């Protein structure tokens, strides 16, 4: 058993990893993070990871869909899930006395789901309605289309929701093949954030995992990161007939463990973070009244990432807005930031991070994802120490590398 400051970890003989962090509260946040996402789908499985998430709640060898739904709700708990490009997470919030009930249910649905045909036929229409709803929201759809362009021909470029035509062809045998390949104890992390210790959680898990013997581990080869696509066009216009223009500009960037990622994290927050005082909000909205929403975003995968700016504006203002965005990027790339500016940016970012740690559910899921992919955790204090170590030269070199205009791709919905 290994202890990392405030986090305790353990690995069971079947390969299931467990990570626990203490929190003095009667509420416990727990879940199962599975190393299976859109990136792990075969070419014939578009949307399978997300559809599997839905179907995991539809019955196991010992429970019906209704029994799954009511198992935690009957004691006031909450059960939910989400699918990402590199993981699927099932999580539960409950009172501490009901932790055993939550752990047993989570292990049952992730390892023993039955995927009944009738439920699949019904649920696929729910997922397709979700896809159509998403298609009606250009401000959301453009993010997927942008990643599709950046990662063209690679599973990372796929829409998480998948394609209706492919989804309707899936059968229980297909889903069982997917989960037999990826939903295995050695590809999972059981996480708990609450007033419990790793020994207690380990004993609970072992009680419910007696059917999974040691030595059953299988290696699954994840689709490798691919070089950037050929640069046939760096400015793409998609005619959507939208009331306003939706615009994204950005590029591929670094994986989560790349040393340069932290510099880009701070630069991104300065440019278009949640604060109204962000540089892009000030220049596009406050000073010129050109947009209602402008934001910059940073998404890090295990071996690559996406940095982008999004805004919506009148069609006639697209070029002016792009000019102002590029001007702000050049300002960061042209010369190092002053110590005063860096100190202010660091102070703001630390405050935002500190407030975000008040959301216990997000803290629990963040801990799980980091441990799932990298085998380690990170406390807020450790993150603050890393931010304190950032230098003007590091920020400058990262800005020069990421914000170079020749590297940027622009997608416009008009």
List C-alpha distances in Å: 232 to 229, 235, 413: 9, 9, 19
Distance of CA 240 to the CA centre of its chain: 27
pLDDT digits (tens, 9 = 90+) for 159-189: 999 999 999 999 999 999 999 999 999 999 9
pLDDT of residue 233: 63
pLDDT of residue 3: 41
pLDDT of residue 6: 75
Is this model's pTM higher than 0.95 or not?
Answer: no
What is the rounded distance in angstroms from the CA atom of residue 235 to the CA atom of residue 410?
5
Select from 95, 105, 93 the least CA-distant residue to 25: 95
Mean pLDDT across 357-381: 95
pLDDT of residue 226: 59
Burial (CB < 10 A; 0-12, 13-18, 19+), residue 304, is buried
List C-alpha distances in Å: 213 to 4, 114, 217, 337: 28, 20, 9, 56
H/E stretch holding 156 = none
Domain ranges of the chain: 2-208, 235-413
Residues near 201 by beta carbon (within 8 Å), at least 6 away in sequence: 10, 18, 20, 99, 103, 190, 192
The band of 1, judged by pLDDT with boundaries at 50, 70 and 90, is very low
Is pLDDT at 284 greater than 60 in this prediction? Answer: yes
CATH of domain 2-208: 3.30.830.10
What is the rounded distance in angstroms from the CA atom of residue 94 to the CA atom of residue 365?
15
What the block records as the tokens of 283 is 């220049």
Dmax (CA) for the chain in angstroms is 64
What is the rounded distance in angstroms from the CA atom of residue 411 to the CA atom of residue 414?
10
- Three-state secondary-structure class, residue 336: coil
pLDDT of residue 2: 41
* pLDDT greater at residue 243 or residue 81: 81
The band of 7, judged by pLDDT with boundaries at 50, 70 and 90, is confident
If you count them, how many residues does the chain have?
414
List C-alpha distances in Å: 48 to 37, 38, 390: 9, 7, 41
| One fold for 2-208 and 235-413 | yes
Mean pLDDT across 307-324: 98
Is pLDDT at 119 greater than 70 in this prediction? Answer: yes
H/E stretch holding 75 = none
- Three-state secondary-structure class, residue 5: coil
**CATH class for the region spanning 235-413:** alpha beta
pLDDT of residue 135: 87
DSSP state of 273: S
The Cβ of residue 410 has, within 10 Å, a number of other Cβ atoms equal to: 20
What is the rounded distance in angstroms from the CA atom of residue 263 to the CA atom of residue 397?
9
The percentage of residues in the chain with a pLDDT greater than 70, rounded to a whole number, is 93
What the block records as the tokens of 77 is 């708990």
Rg (CA), the chain: 23
pLDDT digits (tens, 9 = 90+) for 42-72: 989 999 999 999 999 999 999 999 999 999 9
The band of 4, judged by pLDDT with boundaries at 50, 70 and 90, is very low
The two beta strands, 245-253 and 409-413, are: antiparallel
What is the rounded distance in angstroms from the CA atom of residue 65 to the CA atom of residue 68?
5
pLDDT of residue 74: 97
The band of 231, judged by pLDDT with boundaries at 50, 70 and 90, is low
The band of 218, judged by pLDDT with boundaries at 50, 70 and 90, is low
The band of 225, judged by pLDDT with boundaries at 50, 70 and 90, is low
pLDDT of residue 400: 97
The band of 221, judged by pLDDT with boundaries at 50, 70 and 90, is low
The percentage of residues in the chain with a pLDDT greater than 90, rounded to a whole number, is 89
The band of 122, judged by pLDDT with boundaries at 50, 70 and 90, is very high
What the block records as the tokens of 219 is 């290696």
What is the rounded distance in angstroms from the CA atom of residue 145 to the CA atom of residue 248?
10
The band of 272, judged by pLDDT with boundaries at 50, 70 and 90, is very high
Mean pLDDT across 249-253: 96
Handedness of CA 107, 112, 118, 121 (dihedral sign): positive
Distance of CA 408 to the CA centre of its chain: 23
For 350-358, which contacts have Cβ atoms below 8 Å and span 24 or more sequence positions?
350/384, 350/387, 352/269, 352/273, 352/274, 352/275, 353/380, 353/383, 353/384, 354/380
Is pLDDT at 196 greater than 80 in this prediction? Answer: yes
What is the rounded distance in angstroms from the CA atom of residue 325 to the CA atom of residue 279?
9
Q: Which of 154-168, 215-229, 292-306, 344-358 has the lowest mean pLDDT?
A: 215-229
H/E stretch holding 85 = none
Q: Which of 1-10, 206-215, 225-234, 354-363 has the lowest mean pLDDT?
A: 225-234
Is pLDDT at 215 greater than 50 in this prediction? Answer: no
Q: Which of 53-67, 211-225, 392-406 has the lowest mean pLDDT?
A: 211-225
The band of 323, judged by pLDDT with boundaries at 50, 70 and 90, is very high
- Three-state secondary-structure class, residue 171: coil
- Three-state secondary-structure class, residue 306: strand
């Amino acid at each position: 058993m290994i202890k990392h400051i405030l986090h305790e970890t353990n690995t069971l003989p079947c390969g299931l990893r467990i990570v626990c962090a203490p929190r003095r509260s009667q509420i416990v946040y727990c879940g199962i993070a599975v190393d299976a996402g859109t990136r792990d789908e075969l070419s014939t499985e578009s949307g399978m990871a997300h559809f599997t998430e839905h179907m995991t709640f539809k019955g196991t060898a010992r429970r019906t869909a209704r029994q799954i739904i009511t198992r935690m709700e009957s004691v006031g708990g909450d059960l939910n899930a989400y699918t990402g490009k590199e993981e699927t997470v099932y999580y539960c919030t409950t009172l501490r006395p009901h932790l055993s009930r939550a752990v047993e249910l989570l292990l049952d649905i992730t390892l023993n789901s039955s995927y009944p045909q009738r439920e699949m036929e019904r649920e696929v229409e729910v997922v397709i309605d979700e896809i159509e709803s998403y298609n009606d929201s250009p401000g959301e759809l453009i993010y997927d289309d942008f990643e599709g362009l950046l990662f063209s021909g690679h599973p990372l470029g796929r829409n998480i929701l998948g394609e209706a035509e492919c989804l309707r062809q899936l059968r229980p045998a297909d889903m069982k093949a997917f989960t037999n390949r990826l939903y295995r104890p050695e590809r999972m992390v059981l996480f708990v954030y609450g007033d419990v210790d790793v020994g207690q959680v380990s004993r609970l898990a072992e009680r419910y995992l007696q059917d999974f013997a040691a030595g059953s581990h299988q290696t699954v080869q994840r689709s490798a990161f691919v070089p950037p696509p050929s640069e046939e066009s760096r400015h793409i216009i998609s005619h959507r007939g939208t009331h306003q223009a939706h615009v994204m500009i950005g590029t591929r960037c670094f994986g989560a463990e790349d040393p340069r990622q932290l510099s880009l994290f701070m630069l991104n927050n300065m440019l278009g973070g949640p604060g109204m005082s962000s540089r892009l909000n000030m220049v596009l909205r406050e000073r010129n009244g050109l947009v209602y929403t402008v934001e910059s975003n940073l998404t890090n995968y295990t071996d690559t990432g996406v940095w982008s700016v999004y805004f919506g504006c009148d069609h006639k203002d697209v070029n002016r807005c792009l000019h102002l965005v590029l001007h702000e990027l050049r300002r960061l790339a042209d010369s190092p930031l002053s110590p005063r500016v860096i100190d202010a940016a660091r102070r703001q970012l630390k405050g935002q991070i500190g407030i975000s740690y008040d959301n216990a559910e997000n803290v629990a899921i963040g801990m799980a994802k980091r441990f799932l992919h990298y085998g380690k955790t990170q406390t807020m204090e450790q993150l603050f120490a890393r931010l304190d170590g950032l230098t003007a030269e590091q920020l400058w070199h990262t800005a020069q590398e990421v914000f170079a205009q020749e590297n940027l791709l622009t997608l416009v919905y008009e």
